[in-house]
Chain A
Amino acid sequence: MLRLGIDVGGTNTDAVLIDGQRVLAATKAPTTSDVTGGIVTAIGQLREAAGFDPADVAAVMIGTTHFINALVEGTRLAPTAAIRFGLPATSALPPLVDWPVELERTIGGHSYLCHGGHEYDGSRIADFDEREFRDVLDKAAQGGARSFAISSVFSPVNAEFELRAAEIIAEQLPGAPVSLSHEIGRMGLLGRENATIINAALRELAEHVTTGLTETVLGAGIQAPVFLSQNDGTLMDVDHARRYPVATFASGPTNSMRGAAFLSEQSSCAVVDIGGTTTDVGILQNGFPREASTDVAVAGIQTNFRMPDVLSVGIGGGSHVGSGPTPEVGPQSVGYRLTEQALVFGGDQLTATDLAVAAGRADIGDAARVAHLDPAFVRAALDGVAVRIAEVVDRMRLSAEPIPVVAVGGGSILVPDVIDGASVVVRPEHHAVANAIGAAIAEVGGEVDRVFSVEPGRRDAVLDEARQEAVDRTVAAGARPGSVRVVDIEEVPLAYLPGNATRIRVKAVGELSLGGNDA
């Protein structure tokens, strides 16, 4: 069973072909502005290298930073109406309240409040006022809004307001994309609502990109289903991605970490991913990236996404090297111009890559062009890099026990063979395409996050119910039933509430079912 993994990064599009646990071929092509051009080239190169039959490909998995980049750059976003059901509560902090002014303006600044939403116990704050909502829709449409983000207080407990709103939009503005907060985020109104608004603003781009991806894959003669990587290392199918583009946001670091785990056969380790400009360090636990504990701001917007906990430092293969008595490496970098500007490539900027070549750690470009560097200077500079990388690893690791360190990415030649606090430093084969491999080996997941009433003596039964729901959702998302396992359980009793109301979160994951009789 062949899997095709593709990583569409800002600079390169990487593609890998995997057969079970074996990497058959790996290629890199420059990313094109239309996304699809780089993929066409990469798939073409793969076919040359491995000579596979497109009919043998069982699934195509794509990881992309395209959507998060669109938000960060504030381009290609749809004019979006953010409508919340919560009145008479919540008006102190209306939708879009803490957004950067530029982004708010880019999406049109349409923020509306309607009566409704629920209390913690599922009773209504106010009844649905259809006339009020239809008036808001008219206003938003006249103001130019094309995509709709709907949120409602305690919608993870009861989603009736959001669902009713979606029905009315479908009737009044047929075909307009609708994003509902209970399908996108978890408890915490502002974070969930912001994620929903971001999602809505990306819907038109998602329509365009997912259509392009599907056509590109078909154009290469591959009939297999196409999936996109999500933030937590699991997959969604291309139709889901069309409706939930926001779920791809942190897939880049996630894929590189999971790819590193696969290549090195380490399931609990630190992953050091060195690119052209930065070094990202994350921690893998049982094969999955550890998530950040605090809420994550994306492009200046507070969200409650699950994001991998990644610490970055400005050291990469393209980092400038200062010429002072104590050599400074980074944070300035030549970035993707490495092959023009680094000394070994005939440029005139001393970079970290030049140091690695001078020290004999890498055979890149023309080593003669760095022969003049003072060996003591080179050693001091590389030692400084090693110390800083070791510090980041040390800050990230959870126990004082030395842990394995897996080095991936094009700049991983900067990682020394011995690091303080590392039990071993692993530099796996194919490390430069770890992201694409991470995409290729992704799993599917399902999550429950709701307030349950836990009567005395019934805690186990309630937890079982929540677990089963998470497992069912995972299977519904495309997992092979026998492979599904619960990976995370969290209980938060709601202080002061009667009936032992408890917020329970359960996350389950499983292997992707690729048809056949195993389902």
Chain B
Amino acid sequence: MREITPLDLPDMARGAAVLGTGGGGDPYVGRLLAQQALLRHGPVQLVDPAEIDDDAVVIPTAFMGAPTVMLEKLPSGVELTAALQALEQLIGKRAAYTVSIEAGGLNSLIPFVAAAELGLPLIDADGMGRAFPELQMLLPTLGGVAATPMAIADERGNAVSLETVSNGWAERFARGVTIEMGCSAAVSLYVLTGRQVKEHMVHGTMTLCQRLGAAIREAGAEHRDPVAAATEVMGGRVIFRGKIVDVQRGTQGGFARGEAVLEGLADDLGSRMEVAFQNENLVATRDGEVVVSVPDLICLLDTDTGEPVTTETLRYGLRVSVVAAPCDPRWRSTEGLALAGPAYFGYDHEYVPV
């Protein structure tokens, strides 16, 4: 167990946005929300999954919606606790811990708000080890944990609860409710036992985020290559360095789908890379050949500063490095690939690991 204070947050937000693989929300807003909550209520205890009881009640908290909207219509701060408390009422049990469902600039930092306000410890873990666009894409789904009962709350005081036959249906209904709430809503779902957290979540994610963010900051300050520093922490490799020469986007099925085209620089001179995304980066293709695909992590970092580049901020002329890193091994199973592999996202090629 250790105490998290506002001083820990900038590194954590930066690292979380890297693991967010282009999605997962804006790290500046995420960091500020957590910072305000910690300043008001004091530090939050971060506990290792090994420290919690097997029968402890764990209730995750997150934001759902369009990242672009969340930059404008900021949260009131009451939605998160409202969603968590509505779920507590639904199941008739109190949460002993909260935890984040994914790694991302906003959603890794958001649980600090609920934790600080309700005095709950936060578990050093998450449900994906990265970010994915849909609610059912959690490792606990593979472990048979139901996403519902689930609660969705907005800043007006509305709270909607869902009970669905599968986690895929939870995504469909929750998406519709979120749109009605202004495309930004707080969710609480996947009630877990301590034992389920230990078995099905990715351990140590918050600490990894902080380490990753610190590595980028320190490398920059010491005039070392921040991209290389990040790559080392993730155990990945730099698969391309280039500049963005085209960004194509379209809205399909309610998601921002598109592709960034990079022209190689330095060692990659003369080559091209295409990175396809659906909120998160999905597939990287080099000169016509797929070199990495989901569920492995494909992260775009600013080549000079190492700062993560989210898909909303992709733009012409940006110099980026593409870093590929292995996903949690459970995503590489047959069931994992069925839930979040290339085929689910409509690609006809096999999974290509880094």
Give the B-binding residues of A (Cβ under 8 A). Answer: 86-93, 97-98, 117, 119-120, 125, 153-154, 187-190, 285, 290, 293-295, 302, 311, 395, 398-400, 454, 490-498, 500-503
B337 interfacial by beta-carbon distance below 8 Å: no
Q: How far is the CB of B14 from chain A (nearest CB, A)?
A: 12
If the complex has contacts A89-B73, A395-B304, A492-B312, are A497 and B251 also in contact, measured as CB distance less than 8 A?
yes
Q: How far is the CB of B64 from chain A (nearest CB, A)?
A: 9
The 5 A-B residue pairs with the shortest CB-CB distance, nearest first, are A92-B77, A493-B251, A90-B74, A495-B256, A89-B155
If the complex has contacts A119-B182, A497-B254, A500-B251, are A90 and B32 also in contact, measured as CB distance less than 8 A?
no
Please determine whether B76 and A97 come into contact, CB atoms closer than 8 angstroms. Answer: no
If the complex has contacts A93-B33, A119-B182, are A496 and B75 also in contact, measured as CB distance less than 8 A?
no
Looking at the complex, which one of A98, A302, A495 makes contact with B254 (CB distance below 8 Å)? A495
Please determine whether B313 and A293 come into contact, CB atoms closer than 8 angstroms. Answer: yes
Q: Which residues of B contact A503 (CB under 8 A)?
A: 68
Main secondary structure of the interface of A (DSSP, over half): loop
Indicate the size class of the contact surface on chain B.
35 or more
Q: Which residues of A contact B76 (CB under 8 A)?
A: 87-92
Please determine whether B313 and A496 come into contact, CB atoms closer than 8 angstroms. Answer: no
Q: Which residues of B contact A302 (CB under 8 A)?
A: 28
In the docked arrangement, what's the CA distance between A187 and B73, Å? 10
Q: Which residues of B contact A93 (CB under 8 A)?
A: 29, 32-33, 36, 74-75
Residue in B182, B250, B251, B319 with the greatest tally of chain A CB atoms within 10 Å: B251
Q: Which residues of B contact A90 (CB under 8 A)?
A: 73-76
Please determine whether B72 and A496 come into contact, CB atoms closer than 8 angstroms. Answer: no
Q: How far is the CB of B172 from chain A (nearest CB, A)?
A: 12
Q: Which residue of B lies closest to A123 (CB)?
A: B182
Q: Which residues of A contact B249 (CB under 8 A)?
A: 491-493
Please determine whether A92 and B251 come into contact, CB atoms closer than 8 angstroms. Answer: no
Please determine whether A398 and B36 come into contact, CB atoms closer than 8 angstroms. Answer: no
Please determine whether A502 and B72 come into contact, CB atoms closer than 8 angstroms. Answer: no
Please determine whether B66 and A188 come into contact, CB atoms closer than 8 angstroms. Answer: no
A-B contact pairs, 8 of them (CB 8 A): A90-B76, A91-B76, A120-B69, A395-B304, A398-B243, A495-B279, A498-B179, A501-B251
Q: Which residues of B contact A285 (CB under 8 A)?
A: 317
Please determine whether A92 and B36 come into contact, CB atoms closer than 8 angstroms. Answer: yes
In the docked arrangement, what's the CA distance between A293 and B113, Å? 29
In the docked arrangement, what's the CA distance between A294 and B304, Å? 12
Q: Which residues of B contact A494 (CB under 8 A)?
A: 66, 68-69, 183, 251, 256
Q: How far is the CB of A394 from chain B (nearest CB, A)?
A: 10
Q: Which residues of B contact A491 (CB under 8 A)?
A: 249
Q: Which residue of A lies closest to B264 (CB)?
A: A400
Please determine whether A496 and B73 come into contact, CB atoms closer than 8 angstroms. Answer: no
B307 interfacial by beta-carbon distance below 8 Å: yes
If the complex has contacts A190-B74, A398-B243, are A295 and B68 also in contact, measured as CB distance less than 8 A?
no
B156 interfacial by beta-carbon distance below 8 Å: yes
Q: Write the B60-85 contact mask toward A (1 if CB under 8 angstroms, else 0).
A: 00000111110111111110000000
- 19 new A-B contacts at CB < 8 Å, known A120-B66, A190-B29: A88-B76, A89-B182, A91-B78, A92-B76, A93-B29, A119-B183, A120-B182, A154-B72, A187-B71, A311-B304, A398-B319, A399-B243, A492-B68, A492-B249, A495-B255, A495-B256, A496-B66, A496-B183, A497-B254
If the complex has contacts A494-B68, A495-B68, A496-B183, are A86 and B73 also in contact, measured as CB distance less than 8 A?
yes
Q: How far is the CB of A30 from chain B (nearest CB, A)?
A: 36
Q: Which residue of B lies closest to A454 (CB)?
A: B251
In the docked arrangement, what's the CA distance between A190 and B73, Å? 10
Q: Which residue of A lies closest to B269 (CB)?
A: A400
In the docked arrangement, what's the CA distance between A492 and B113, Å? 29
Q: Write the B181-223 contact mask toward A (1 if CB under 8 angstroms, else 0).
A: 0110000000000000000000000000000000000000000
Q: Which residues of B contact A497 (CB under 8 A)?
A: 66, 69, 179, 183, 251, 254
B265 interfacial by beta-carbon distance below 8 Å: yes
Interface residues of B in 1-36 (CB under 8 A from A): 28-29, 32-33, 36
Please determine whether B317 and A290 come into contact, CB atoms closer than 8 angstroms. Answer: yes
Q: Write the B302-321 contact mask toward A (1 if CB under 8 angstroms, else 0).
A: 10110101001101011100
Q: Which residues of A contact B29 (CB under 8 A)?
A: 93, 190
Q: How far is the CB of A489 from chain B (nearest CB, A)?
A: 10
Q: Which residues of B contact A86 (CB under 8 A)?
A: 73-74
Q: Which residue of B lies closest to A309 (CB)?
A: B317
Interface residues of B in 245-276 (CB under 8 A from A): 249-251, 254-256, 258, 263, 265-266, 269
Looking at the complex, which one of B179, B183, B313 makes contact with A294 (CB distance below 8 Å)? B313
Q: Which residue of A lies closest to B307 (CB)?
A: A294
B136 interfacial by beta-carbon distance below 8 Å: no
B130 interfacial by beta-carbon distance below 8 Å: no
Please determine whether B75 and A153 come into contact, CB atoms closer than 8 angstroms. Answer: no
Q: How far is the CB of B48 from chain A (nearest CB, A)?
A: 28
If the complex has contacts A93-B33, A398-B317, A398-B319, are A88 and B74 also in contact, measured as CB distance less than 8 A?
no
Please determine whether B74 and A154 come into contact, CB atoms closer than 8 angstroms. Answer: no
Q: How far is the CB of A231 from chain B (nearest CB, A)?
A: 17
Q: Which residue of A lies closest to B113 (CB)?
A: A92
Please determine whether A295 and B28 come into contact, CB atoms closer than 8 angstroms. Answer: yes
Please determine whether A92 and B73 come into contact, CB atoms closer than 8 angstroms. Answer: no
In the docked arrangement, what's the CA distance between A167 and B319, Å? 45
Q: Which residues of A contact B258 (CB under 8 A)?
A: 493
If the complex has contacts A187-B71, A492-B68, A495-B254, are A88 and B155 also in contact, measured as CB distance less than 8 A?
yes
Interface residues of B in 299-354 (CB under 8 A from A): 302, 304-305, 307, 309, 312-313, 315, 317-319
In the docked arrangement, what's the CA distance between A490 and B183, Å? 22
Q: Which residues of A contact B312 (CB under 8 A)?
A: 492
Please determine whether B74 and A120 come into contact, CB atoms closer than 8 angstroms. Answer: no
Please determine whether A189 and B68 come into contact, CB atoms closer than 8 angstroms. Answer: no
Looking at the complex, which one of B37, B65, B269 makes contact with A496 (CB distance below 8 Å)? B65
Q: Which residue of A lies closest to B76 (CB)?
A: A91
Q: How far is the CB of A458 from chain B (nearest CB, A)?
A: 13
Please determine whether B72 and A153 come into contact, CB atoms closer than 8 angstroms. Answer: yes
Q: How far is the CB of A272 from chain B (nearest CB, A)?
A: 17
Q: How far is the CB of A455 from chain B (nearest CB, A)?
A: 11
B281 interfacial by beta-carbon distance below 8 Å: no
Q: Which residue of B lies closest to A120 (CB)?
A: B69
If the complex has contacts A492-B249, A493-B251, A496-B254, are A293 and B315 also in contact, measured as CB distance less than 8 A?
yes
Q: Which residues of A contact B156 (CB under 8 A)?
A: 88
In the docked arrangement, what's the CA distance between A97 and B243, Å? 34
Interface residues of B in 38-54 (CB under 8 A from A): none
Looking at the complex, which one of B68, B75, B113, B182 makes contact with A187 (CB distance below 8 Å)? B68
